[in-house]
Amino acid sequence: MRNRERLLETARAMITEHGPGKVTMDGLAERAELGKGTVFRRFGSRAGIFRALLDDDERRFQEQVLSGPPPLGPGADAEQRLIAYGRARIPFLLDHHAIARAAMDHTQPASEDGVGMTQPHIRMLLGQAGLLVPLPLLDSLAVQLTAALEAPLLLYLSMDEAPGPSGSAHLLSESWQVLVERVMRG
Amino acid sequence: MRNRERLLETARAMITEHGPGKVTMDGLAERAELGKGTVFRRFGSRAGIFRALLDDDERRFQEQVLSGPPPLGPGADAEQRLIAYGRARIPFLLDHHAIARAAMDHTQPASEDGVGMTQPHIRMLLGQAGLLVPLPLLDSLAVQLTAALEAPLLLYLSMDEAPGPSGSAHLLSESWQVLVERVMRG
């Protein structure tokens, strides 16, 4: 466990200094002053390093949602929490774009860890909001709002270019708020 | 041109009878009573047959939107057209699921033909609706509503399973209508 934390901390420092492109299994072992075998056993592949970093950050994000201060955490009303979730999630996904690309391993099926948390959370908040719509529609509405929030950013994972102006964190966050306010009050 | 239509018509008949899995370059040539070289020159690969079928159907769908009867075509108000678009597009994407999977060619970058039409159309209708939101947000709102409409169905392209209950055409169409009504009137 100590080794894992040391390796992840070292990988973060390397990414901050030189970007994800310069992180290799050998380079990481050398800089962390650990054996190459240790790095290999921990992460299996170069992509595995980035997956571990993502998992770590996703876990921290999830903790903020489950038990952090409101309005992202519990204690605010459903509409405010839903707005806060998007306003936190959009920059999180944009900031993690380079790491998420590097974590993609084309020899393995895509992980759905990141996608997994958003839909149940949105579904729960829709339920708490007491919308005047038939119950089964809350499920499909949660599917569609999750797509509205995450798909524009996940789409960039398959591209090399940066998002266009309408894909900026600021605009997507603002229009997410418009969408939520109208859905919740409509 | 005659050969292309004859081949596509034959491919459609084969898909109706036996599903897309049984359509091969050789089988198509034989059944259409054309040479294998003709099939190869027209489509290049087996995936190319399915891409041509998709292109054909997308073009017809687009014609309905651009010049078909209202509310899908012009003549209804923006809200009704937006609802009608989703109610037509969702079953279209579900119906084309098997063909779209077969059209995926992992040796080439994914085509974005289908994604291309929806966002400009939604953007245009949002503009016509006179929403009381700042103009730049109409672009990012169109990005998010496009994702809400299409991403849940495009996601199935990368899976083998059928959509779950909350991904049924009926529920997604109903909640699309709820989403649009609230966004337009909210």
Give the per-residue pLDDT at A105: 72
Give the per-residue pLDDT at A80: 97
Whether A57 shows a pLDDT value over 70: the answer reads yes
The total number of structural domains in chain B stands at: 1
Contact across the interface for A178 and B152, Cβ inside 8 Å: no
Distance from CA of A40 to the nearest CA of B (A): 29
Mean per-residue pLDDT of chain A: 89
Farthest-apart Cα atoms in chain B, separation = 60
Mean pLDDT of B123-148: 93
Cβ pairs bridging A and B (under 8 Å): 110
In a domain, B161, yes or no: yes
DSSP B105-131: -TTSPPP-HHHHHHHHHHHHHHHHTT-
Q: What is the pLDDT of residues A169-179, one digit of tens each?
A: 899 999 999 99
Residue numbers of the domain that contains B114:
70-185
Give the per-residue pLDDT at A131: 92
Contact across the interface for A167 and B143, Cβ inside 8 Å: yes
Check: complex ipTM more than 0.95: no
Question: What is the SS3 string spanning A71-119?
Answer: CCCECECHHHHHHHHHHHHHHHHHHCHHHHHHHCCCCCCCCCHHHHHHH
Rounded to whole angstroms, the Cα distance separating B82 from A131 reads 22
Task: Count the neighbouring beta carbons within 10 Å of the beta carbon of residue A77.
Answer: 13
Give the per-residue pLDDT at A108: 58
In a domain, B35, yes or no: no
In a domain, B82, yes or no: yes
> Residue A159: closest CA among chain B residues belongs to which residue?
B109
In a domain, A125, yes or no: yes
Contact across the interface for B151 and A147, Cβ inside 8 Å: yes
Interface of B with A (CB under 8 A): 110, 133-134, 136-137, 139-145, 147-152, 155, 158, 165-168, 171-172, 174-176, 178-179, 181-183, 185-186
Q: What is the pLDDT of residues B157-179, one digit of tens each?
A: 666 566 666 668 899 999 999 99
Residue A165: which pLDDT band, with cuts at 50, 70 and 90?
low
Contact across the interface for B137 and A171, Cβ inside 8 Å: yes
Residue A113: which pLDDT band, with cuts at 50, 70 and 90?
very low
Whether A114 shows a pLDDT value over 80: the answer reads no
In a domain, A56, yes or no: no
Whether B90 shows a pLDDT value over 90: the answer reads yes
Q: What is the pLDDT of residues B97-126, one digit of tens each?
A: 889 888 887 665 555 444 579 999 999 999
Q: pLDDT > 90: what percent of chain A?
A: 71
Contact across the interface for B144 and A185, Cβ inside 8 Å: no
Whether residue A179 contacts residue B144, with contact meaning beta carbons closer than 8 Å, is answered with yes
Q: What is the pLDDT of residues A5-51, one digit of tens each?
A: 999 999 999 999 999 999 999 999 999 999 999 999 999 999 999 99
